[in-house]
């Protein structure tokens, strides 16, 4: 079984790895690149714990084959905090106690950032539907939704300032 | 919205407890750095995979692994022959005792496969691809047997027998023949026949619930290494590293001291990670291969082979006088245990009527084995199931009597001094305060919209204490490390650090909590039973108190006074000796800096067996809207009130309540194991096993009622389990209110609700 040589960009850095034909992007991130922030909760695109963006588009990395990201830009949870500073969403998740076990948290954060990138002022309903692809079994979503909307409000303020 | 109703008696001056600091493990968990079960790797590790039975019930005639062993890259194959054949022995490890023989037979089938997904063999290979290829080469010859998945079918005479030597326990005499009924539980008080005869109103109904899964998002995962000298190392995600150590030692016939278990971060458990599935297999594969072995379950495996909780059939009959006094109750519960005895029907019997002060009742529970995965604990095991039936019945009684649902519960409520239906006499409970909190809420008075209904239900859970160890170490700079042996499943590091900080008088940022491996801290029972903040918290506080005692002793020595003349306040020793008015306070920093000259390191470890966990009560109020065209039920407003004793970190207490509500709503509306005619699970994935997503739920309002538990240093009661008890009935009662039809069968999926509405109209 021959392996494909994949050259891509992950969190701004050029990376390359060898991919077996069936290797998912999630497997490549976790096993080849040691980026274990994206989690496998289902392997079928139902839980969102493996959420990453490819060229800015939110995807379940378990549903993307690793060779598909050749020449693309992949961003993962590991790329969210910049220069030792947490992103506003990460900070708000902590302030609102929007995580319990924390396993789904990377996926929620990546998905929430993708939401705010396209819609900086989402309603509660828009936020809930955008995040409906991410399962959390601990929190009942209440504090997650509050954290995302609070982060959105703060980011809008920052923009005005 | 959340609010806290504090009883004045609990108001002591607290600087840290009751505040909402950022959790100490937070940064790791929002950056992806936290290391969960599948995130850990060992040099040279192999991939371990399990071959699972495709049959619900089958004799394993033979297993031929010759071809698999011959496949290049395969390093080991194990079957039950590689594990000791254990004798039946009960082991007390947490809330529920486990039979070690059954545990080992669940880890690896011996002679018979008892459910679709039961492990029959395992391989270790150099890659996932090779391991999968090896599984396909193992030839298992099965003799397929008749199977039974439904609880009443399994109880019927002539049902296929899972275990030839299972004789019902708990009957007046040992039965003449084996059956699938493992045990009868029975409890009674008074004379129900007479009481029912005298009742003005009687309600009677059969209720059913389906098996549901805990649904933690992290699949089970571990890495295990068995060294040539017999030392074993295990890294795994579980609710208790000591539980993993004990079970691995028992299943593999090793000394406890041979095995060290390091806890990974745990990605949810809810009771489902209070047992082992992979760890003994990974160790056996490591022994056979001479390499570390990593095993990670797929979601399909999690559903098919790890513990759901029981499906049930229940009968509840209640009698009351016209003024709403419940005079008699008859409860019969039949619970699916899965492949081995041990459904939570015993706990269900004990909690069934715990909120009610009753003179006459009988409660009968049946623990029944079925060809389904062996049930595991799920958050307040058994209590939500029986509360669905009993709270639906009380609701029906209130409807028949034209009574307010809170009024009927207040009229029959247990109080301090009431002898609970399950035995003990209640003390320091906050049940009626919690009922009052809902009655006084805005939600209770709010009007309802079109196609909407409101339901109320109450719930009870014991909460437990038990064995815990904690250590507090003071650094030379006066900062502190708190070490415990309990995995942090929902923010317990924060509460441990806060309780230590409060006791030491330090800011919480100067206290770092750690969760140690089994060789680095004394024994602690697993994280379960809502025990960690209560019991391990008690050990933390006592260890911190020992540190304070040592600091006072050292200050007294420096000041040449007695220890009684030294007060510890605000992180400082203060001299109370009137003869020494010039002594300036000594900070923890100052004392720690001198430790090398004053008796050495400042450190304390406490091991205890915590008693006096306060039971918890919850009262939930739910508004639903039912789509008249499709039968779809939407929860549109929800308020949960709970007596929590004292909320150490209120945000994480609210989170526990909200999470329990969400799981309960899923149980009520959507979740169910669905088996096909062959006894195979048809919906072993998150697409078809439909747990609530963000767009399914509204904000979940909480009211924390604080009636302190005097047995805990800060008054805490367990909080994690109570909130899943009332929602099933709260939702079902709301649907009844919306459509006018009692809904006795869960889940209330759209077709079920639509059919009920059609019956009403027809």
The predicted-structure confidence for B509-547, as pLDDT tens digits, reads as follows: 999 999 999 999 999 999 998 999 999 999 999 999 999
- Chain B CB within 8 Å of residue A139 CB: yes
3-state secondary structure at position B297: coil
Q: Does 3.40.50.920 match the CATH number of domain B1-7+421-463+614-762? A: no
Query: What's the Cα-to-Cα distance from A33 to each of A19, A56, A64, B187, B689, rounded to whole Å?
Result: 11, 20, 16, 59, 32
- Alpha-carbon span B486 to B495, nearest angstrom: 12
Structural domain ending residue among the three candidates A18, A52, A77: A77
Helices and strands (H and E) in chain A: how many = 5, 5
- H or E, element range at B348: helix B345-351
Chain A 108-127, residues with CB within 8 Å of chain B CB atoms: 109, 124-125, 127
State how far residue B73 is from chain A, nearest Cα, in angstroms. 14
Q: What are the tokens at B670?
A: 């959507």
The answer to whether residues A10 and A60 belong to one domain is yes
In DSSP terms, B184 is beta-bridged to: B366
A102 plus A144 within the same structural domain: yes
pLDDT confidence of residue B557: 95
Query: Count H helices, E strands: chain B?
Result: 20, 31
Taking every pair of Cα atoms in chain B, the longest distance, rounded to a whole number of angstroms, is 91
Tell me how close the Cα of B426 comes to any Cα of chain A, in angstroms.
30
CB contact under 8 A, B687 and A109: no
Domain residue ranges in chain B: 1-7+421-463+614-762, 466-610
Phi-psi region of A43 (alpha: psi -120 to 50; beta: other; left: phi over 0): left
The answer to whether residues A64 and A30 belong to one domain is yes
Q: Final residue of a domain: which of A77, A96, A125?
A: A77
Total domains present in chain A: 2
- The answer on A73 and A28 residing in a single domain is yes
Test A136 with B23 for CB contact under 8 angstroms. no
Q: Which residues of chain B, if any, have pLDDT below 70?
A: 1-2, 5-12, 93-96, 762
Same fold, B1-7+421-463+614-762 and B466-610: yes
Out of B34, B694, B696, name the one closest to residue A102 (CB).
B34
Decide if B694 and A109 are in contact by the 8 Å CB cutoff.
no
At B224 the pLDDT is 98
* B650 shares contact with chain A (CB less than 8 Å): no
Q: Which one of A115, A136, A138, A139 would you mutate to disrupt binding with B, by most B Cβ within 10 Å of its Cβ?
A: A138
Task: Please indicate if any CB of chain B lies within 8 Å of the CB of A86.
Answer: yes
What CATH number is associated with residue A134?
1.10.150.120
According to the model, what pLDDT value does residue A72 have?
A: 98
Give the pLDDT confidence of B619-630 residue by residue, as tens digits.
999 999 999 999
- Please check whether residue A83 lies inside any domain of the structure: no
Answer whether residue A52 is part of any domain: yes
CA pair distance B269, B238, nearest whole angstrom = 7
Residue in B268, B685, B697 closest to A42 by CB? B685
CATH code of the domain in which A34 resides: 3.10.20.30
| A95 belongs to a structural domain | yes
CB contact under 8 A, B697 and A97: no
A69 with A131, same domain: the answer is no
pLDDT of residue B9: 45
A9 and A73 share one domain:
yes
Q: Is B727 left (phi over 0), alpha (psi -120 to 50) or beta?
A: alpha
Q: Nearest CA to CA, how far is B303 from chain A (Å)?
A: 11
Q: Considering only alpha carbons, which residue of chain A is nearest residue B41? A: A31
Residue in the block written with tokens 């959507």: B670
Half-sphere exposure of B94 (CA within 13 A, CB side): 31
For residue A112, is it within any domain? yes
Mean pLDDT by 10 residues, chain A (161 residues): 92 97 96 98 98 98 98 98 96 98 98 98 98 98 98 96 82
Residue window 228-267, chain B: list those with CB within 8 Å of chain A.
Answer: 265-267
Q: Please give the Cα distance from B244 to B525 (Å, whole number).
A: 11
Write down which residue in A77, A97, A117 finishes a domain.
Answer: A77
CB-based burial, B91-111: b 16+ in 10 Å, e otherwise: eebbbbebbbbbbbbbbbbbe
Taking the Cβ of residue A138 and every Cβ of chain B, the question of whether any pair is shorter than 8 Å is answered with: yes
> Are the beta carbons of B624 and B724 closer than 8 angstroms?
no
Pick from A43, A46, A138: CB nearest B659 = A138
In CATH terms, B466-610 corresponds, of 3.90.800.10, 3.90.79.10, 3.30.2270.10, 3.30.365.10, to 3.30.365.10
| A94 and A73, same domain (yes or no) | no
Residue A37 is assigned to a structural domain of this protein: yes
A42 touching B, CB under 8 A?
Answer: yes
Place of tokens 């303020």: A157
Question: Is the same domain home to A112 and A142?
Answer: yes
How confident is the model at residue A26, as a pLDDT? Answer: 98
Residues A112 and A132 in one domain: yes
DSSP code of B265?
B
B656 token code pair: 């526990």
Token pair recorded at residue B615? 């039971």
- Torsion sign, CA atoms B754, B759, B761, B762: positive
Q: How many CB atoms lie within 10 A of CB B589?
A: 18
Q: Are B284 and B318 in contact (CB under 8 A)?
A: no
Residues A132 and A113 in one domain: yes
> How large is the ipTM?
0.98
Is the CA virtual torsion B190, B193, B199, B201 positive or negative?
positive
Judgement on whether residues A123 and A150 belong to the same structural domain of the protein: yes
Q: Are B609 and B531 in contact (CB under 8 A)?
A: no
B31 touches chain A (CB under 8 A): yes
Asked, for residue A129, whether it belongs to a domain, the answer is: yes
Q: What is the residue range of A66's domain?
A: 4-77
Residue A46, token pair as written in the block: 């139902």
**A148 and A115 within one domain:** yes
- CB–CB contacts below 8 A, A to B: 186
């Amino acid at each position: 079984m021959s392996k494909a040589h994949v050259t891509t960009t992950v969190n701004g850095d050029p990376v390359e790895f060898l991919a077996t034909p069936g290797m998912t992007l999630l497997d490549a991130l976790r096993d080849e690149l040691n980026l274990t922030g994206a989690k496998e909760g289902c392997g079928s695109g139902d839980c969102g714990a493996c959420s990453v963006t490819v060229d800015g588009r939110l995807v379940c990395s378990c549903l993307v084959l690793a060779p598909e990201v050749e020449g693309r830009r992949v961003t993962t949870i590991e790329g969210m905090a910049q220069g030792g500073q947490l992103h506003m969403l990460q900070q708000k998740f902590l302030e609102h106690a929007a995580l319990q076990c924390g396993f789904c948290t990377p996926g929620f954060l990546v998905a929430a950032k993708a939401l705010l990138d396209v819609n900086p002022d989402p309603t509660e309903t828009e936020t809930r539907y955008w995040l409906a692809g991410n399962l959390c079994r601990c929190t009942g979503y209440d504090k997650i939704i509050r954290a995302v909307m609070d982060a959105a409000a703060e980011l809008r303020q920052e923009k005005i300032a | 919205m959340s609010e806290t109703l504090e009883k004045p008696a609990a108001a002591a001056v607290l600087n840290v407890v009751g505040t909402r600091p950022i959790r100490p493990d937070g940064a790791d968990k929002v950056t992806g750095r936290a290391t969960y079960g599948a995130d850990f790797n060992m040099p040279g590790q192999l991939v371990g995979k399990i071959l699972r039975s495709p049959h619900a019930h089958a004799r394993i005639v033979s297993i031929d692994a010759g071809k698999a062993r011959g496949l290049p890259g395969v390093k080991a194959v194990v079957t039950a022959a590689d594990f000791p054949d254990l004798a039946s022995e009960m082991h007390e490890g947490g809330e529920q005792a486990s039979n070690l023989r059954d545990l080992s037979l669940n880890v690896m089938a011996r002679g018979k496969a008892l459910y679709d997904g039961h492990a029959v063999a395992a391989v270790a290979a150099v890659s996932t691809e090779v391991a999968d290829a090896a599984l396909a080469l193992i030839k298992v010859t099965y003799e397929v047997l008749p199977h039974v998945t439904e609880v009443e079918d399994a109880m019927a005479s002539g049902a296929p027998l899972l275990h030839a030597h299972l004789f019902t326990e708990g009957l007046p005499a040992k039965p003449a023949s084996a059956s699938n009924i493992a045990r009868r539980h029975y409890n009674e008080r008074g004379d129900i026949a007479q009481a029912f005869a005298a009742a003005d109103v009687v309600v009677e109904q059969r209720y059913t619930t389906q098996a549901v899964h805990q649904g933690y998002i992290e699949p089970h995962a571990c890495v295990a290494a068995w060294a040539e000298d017999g030392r074993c190392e295990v890294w795994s995600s579980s609710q208790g590293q000591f539980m993993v150590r004990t079970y691995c030692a028992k299943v593999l016939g090793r000394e406890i001291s041979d095995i060290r278990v390091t806890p990974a971060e745990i990605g949810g458990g809810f009771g489902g990670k209070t047992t082992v599935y992979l760890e003994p297999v990974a160790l056996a594969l490591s022994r056979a291969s001479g390499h570390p072995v990593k095993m990670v379950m797929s979601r399909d495996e999690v559903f098919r082979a790890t513990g759901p909780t029981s499906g049930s059939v229940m009968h509840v009959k209640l009698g009351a006088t016209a003024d709403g006094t419940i005079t008699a109750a008859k409860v019969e519960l039949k619970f699916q245990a899965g492949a081995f005895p041990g459904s939570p029907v015993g706990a269900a019997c004990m909690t069934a009527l715990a909120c009610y002060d009753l003179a006459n009742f009988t409660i009968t529970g049946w623990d029944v084995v079925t060809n389904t995965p062996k049930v595991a604990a799920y958050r307040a095991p058994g209590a939500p199931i029986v509360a669905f039936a009993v709270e639906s019945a009380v609701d029906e009684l209130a409807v028949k009597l034209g009574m307010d649902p809170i009024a009927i519960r207040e009229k029959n409520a247990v109080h301090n001094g009431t002898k609970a239906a399950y035995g003990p006499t209640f003390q320091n409970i906050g049940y009626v305060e919690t009922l009052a909190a809902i009655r006084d809420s805005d939600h209770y008075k709010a009007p309802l919209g079109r196609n909407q209904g409101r339901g109320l239900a109450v719930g009870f859970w014991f909460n437990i204490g038990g064995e815990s160890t904690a250590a507090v170490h003071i650094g030379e700079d006066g900062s502190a490390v708190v070490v415990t042996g309990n995995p942090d499943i929902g923010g317990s590091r924060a509460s441990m650090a806060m309780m230590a900080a409060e006791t030491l008088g330090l800011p919480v940022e100067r206290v770092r909590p750690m969760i140690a491996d089994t060789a680095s801290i004394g024994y602690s029972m697993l994280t379960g039973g809502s025990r960690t903040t209560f019991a391990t918290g008690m050990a933390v506080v006592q260890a911190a108190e020992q540190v304070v005692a040592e600091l006072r002793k050292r200050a007294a020595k420096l000041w040449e006074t007695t220890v009684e003349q030294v007060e510890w306040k605000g992180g400082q020793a203060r001299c109370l000796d009137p003869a020494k008015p010039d002594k300036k306070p000594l900070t923890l920093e100052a004392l720690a800096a001198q430790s090398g000259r004053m008796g050495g390191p400042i450190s304390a470890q406490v091991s205890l067996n915590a008693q006096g966990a306060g039971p918890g009560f919850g009262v939930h109020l739910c508004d639903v809207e039912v789509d008249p065209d499709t039968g779809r039920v939407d929860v549109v407003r929800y308020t949960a009130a709970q007596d929590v004793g004292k909320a150490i970190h209120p945000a994480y207490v609210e989170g526990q309540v909200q999470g329990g509500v969400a799981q309960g709503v899923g149980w009520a509306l959507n979740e169910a194991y669905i088996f096909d005619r062959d006894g195979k699970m048809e919906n072993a994935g998150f697409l078809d096993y439909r747990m609530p997503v963000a767009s399914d739920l509204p904000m979940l309002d909480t009211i924390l009622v604080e009636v302190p538990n005097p047995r805990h240093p800060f008054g805490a009661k367990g909080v994690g389990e109570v909130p899943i008890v009332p929602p099933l009935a709260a939702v079902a009662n709301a649907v009844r209110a919306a459509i006018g039809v009692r809904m006795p069968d869960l889940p209330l999926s759209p077709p079920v609700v639509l059919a009920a509405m059609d019956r009403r109209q027809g």
